[in-house]
Structure 1
Amino acid sequence: MKQHIAVIGGGVIGLSTAYALIRAGHDVTLIEQNEDVGLGASYANGGQLSYRYVSPLADAGIPRQALGWMLKPGSPVSLHLRADPRQWRWMLSFLSACNRSTNRRNAKSLLQLGLEGQAEMAAWRADGLDGYFWRQAGKLVLYRQNKAFRKAVSAIQDPILEQALSPAECAKIEPAFAHLEPDLAGGIFSPEDEVADSYLFCKALKTSLLSHQKFRFLPGKAALVPETAKRCALMVDGTRFATDLVVLAAGLNARDIAAPLGIHLPLYGLKGYSLTLRPSPETLPSVSVTDYDNRIVYARLGDALRVAAMVDIGAEDRSLNPNRLASLRNLVRQTLPGVIAHNIPDAPWTGLRPATPTGVPMVGHSGCENLLLNVGHGALGFTLAAGSAARIVKMIGQAHGDGAQK
């Protein structure tokens, strides 16, 4: 049975959900409070579609490692303690997930969701969705420490799709990083991983959606209020909006939207930074690269290089921290000295990535009969967007006995 479905949130998760629902034949209204789509955490993220490398941040040894990071200027992780119960609840849940068995279980869940998304994205491209610098570039994760490299090798499930490489082999895969060879313990190469520009992807989705008669883009501020004990009502700019079903995909804002229903979402904003560089073409790497020890990702998007890094826990504002940006620029200058210079603008950006403590997003039922959740994707939002959208469509179809998705 086809329905009218309202999707709250015009980031990569909400747009992907709307697109998958339109493909399944539903009537869809997308509600976004900003003037356009993709302006939040989706705007200038790392650009990696890391289908094979989806290990959650919560893992054994991370708390001890994070303590060391916090005492080091320019560290990958910083912690700002706040008098905020949500932060403390999130951190306690995060700590409880920092063990090897939980990490592997959650990584398996993320891997499955990511691979579902990769297949879904391929179907969308076959439909003609393009214009966002998609490439199957492959991903190379570089390790400087033997212990971390051995741990990564032990977690490989498919040695063809996740190849353990020597430092020399890493240099051969991506010559732009060859000068790091003496400092490397090794690397893991995933040849089927991809890159794309998340913001342009959002714009491409919106353009395609607007060509469908069953789609409506509605700028406005959405709110959810109780209607009965088991159902909610949707308000847009204070006016009730009639719909059969609501999908909440509003990133970090989902916490406040769900709260009036007594739904307390375990989301916290992990602040990250990126630079978008436009160096000489010959200095650009072709392969997508992650510098594991520094937690920095490098992705070539057209003629630009997107560099993204850092996790600031507890920094809930969206201001550009000059110290963090200086540290990131310095690390890039040390790692790829040919791509950054003082006279080249690097388009700095920061965003709050809405994460659950486990790193596994909340995709599914909310407790309200007419509300589904699609939130909490953290730094993997782009990677998991299409797979999460496909699951939402499947849940709706199963609930109403629909046949196969179109």
Structure 2
Amino acid sequence: MRIVILGAGVVGVTSAYYLAEAGHEVVLVDRQPGPALETSFANAGEISPGYASPWAAPGIPAKAMRWLMMKHAPLIIQPRPDMAMLRWVLAMLRNCTANRYALNKSRMVRLAEYSRDELIALRGALGIEYDERSQGTLQLFRTQKQLDGSADDIAVLQSYGVPYEVLDRSGCVGAEPGLAISQDHFVGGLRLPHDETGDCHIFTRALAQRLPAMGVELRYNTRIEAIEKDGDRITGVRTDDGMLRGDAYLVALASHSPALLAQLGIRLPIYPVKGYSITLPVADAARAPVSTLLDESYKIAITRLGDRIRVGGMAELSGYDRSLSPRREATLRHSLNDLFPGAADNNAPSGFWSGLRPMTPDSTPIIGRTPVSNLFLNAGHGTLGWTMACGSGRLIASIIGGTPPPIDPEGLELARYSR
């Protein structure tokens, strides 16, 4: 089949790879001059299947109110007349029950664990390098209440057979020696030894460079204007460089997917949740993180990427606004310098960046068919696009190609929102 993929982020590029590997003719389209230049560009860098958890959870509404009042707030809401935001927030609140949390978590972990294994296999097969480290992830608790509250997460990890370690203060320093200077700022942590880190942009760019040799046509600098439909089938995609036609069409446009599909009368419950990051050179390797640390209080990830430190996090509901607030950069720097003082060169340019995470109300991506027979989706991965990309790409390739899926796709399809 000839398959047109809309979107060249990490999800679109991995989808193109697996579809081409399966023998399909693939066209990959993006408005940017290259791959992974939006949400995939400067994310936190963590590949964390064990932390694949829904944002919608019991107790989150009360926590959210406290977060909004913090000086270094992990949650920011910019009030605006936005019905899409309101619908998304209400739908998310409906998922804040124990039963829905458990169901959504099970779907996310199933995909994330499989995706991590696919990434390892792909990395081994192609020899791609992307500042990868396989040294685990440490969730750091600054208070005893946070440490005690990890019992629920540990129970979930146990139920899925995910290896973990509960660490006291000295155990955290053993895992991340750079914390020795700041060990009076935390009480303990939860470590997942099988998690990984890596630069998503470097990975995606390297994988995209392999695609032309597989017969994939790359159409960068091409703006998608509309999808044209006749009856129950898509007949083409209109771009500023002419019409693109295929047998099947895959939308992998992250937060921009809803606007395009709205033209077809398809409502996607995906909303852009803004995140921020800075990237600084390592100044003192002995004080720097060796892998990824999650600062539970501020919901910030601090990740070692080669000779750089990436600090990313926060959640801001502000529509499609990607402006950069100095207050958010101050929060990122506060978390880094509080836990790893002297690790980074704070006088260097920070590469301050923002990206729009494509969040669904249940935090689970939408992968599979749509009501239009030859239109498919691979979008809505939220904060876990990097973690879930390879598994999602392999799964959608099997769905489009009509081959047995590598994992159970139940609960990942768009139809779950109509049930």
Could you tell me which of 192, 195, 219 is aligned with 1:193?
195
Aligned counterpart, 1:42: 40
SS at match of 1:372: strand
1:332 Cα deviation (Å)? 2.0
1:187 counterpart letter in structure 2: G
SS at match of 2:150: helix
**Does the aligned pair in 1 maintain the 2:114–2:391 contact within 8 Å?**
yes
Matched, 1:175 2:177: yes
Cα deviation code 1:10-62 (max 9, x no counterpart): 11110111011111111111000111111100000000001111112111111
Aligned counterpart, 1:163: 165
Aligned counterpart, 1:89: 87
1:248 Cα deviation (Å)? 0.3
1:315 Cα deviation (Å)? 4.7
Distance 1:207 1:282, change over 3 A: same
Percent identity between matched residues is 32
Distance 2:37 2:258 in 1: 18
Aligned counterpart, 2:18: 20
- Computed over aligned residues only, the root mean square deviation of the Cα atoms, in angstroms, reads 1.9
Aligned counterpart, 1:80: 78
**Does the aligned pair in 2 maintain the 1:153–1:188 contact within 8 Å?**
no
Aligned counterpart, 2:376: 372
Aligned counterpart, 1:227: 229
Distance 1:218 1:329 in 2: 38
TM-score, normalised with respect to structure 2: 0.91
2:247 counterpart letter in structure 1: D
Aligned counterpart, 1:383: 387
Distance 1:301 1:344, change over 3 A: same
Could you tell me which of 138, 143, 146 is aligned with 2:144?
146
Aligned counterpart, 1:250: 253
1:396 counterpart letter in structure 2: I
Cα deviation code 1:237-271 (max 9, x no counterpart): 26332201011001111111111110111111111
TM-score, normalised with respect to structure 1: 0.94
1:133 counterpart letter in structure 2: D
- 1:7-406 to 2 correspondences below 5 Å: 7-156=5-154, 157-158=157-158, 161-212=163-214, 214-219=215-220, 220-233=222-235, 234-237=237-240, 239-280=242-283, 281-398=285-402
Cα deviation code 1:262-283 (max 9, x no counterpart): 0111111111111111022333
Cα deviation code 1:127-149 (max 9, x no counterpart): 21412111212111111233332
1:393 counterpart letter in structure 2: A
1:186 counterpart letter in structure 2: G
SS at match of 1:227: strand
SS at match of 1:118: helix
Distance 1:404 1:105, change over 3 A: closer
Distance 2:152 2:406 in 1: 38
2:244 counterpart letter in structure 1: F
1:230 counterpart letter in structure 2: D
**Does the aligned pair in 1 maintain the 2:6–2:252 contact within 8 Å?**
yes
Distance 2:38 2:180 in 1: 35
Q: Which moved more, 1:66-75 or 1:47-56?
A: 66-75
Distance 1:226 1:31 in 2: 16
1:325 Cα deviation (Å)? 1.1
Distance 1:45 1:404 in 2: 27
1:180 Cα deviation (Å)? 3.9
State the number of aligned residues. Answer: 400
Distance 2:60 2:388 in 1: 23
**Does the aligned pair in 1 maintain the 2:13–2:207 contact within 8 Å?**
yes
Q: Which moved more, 1:79-88 or 1:93-102?
A: 93-102
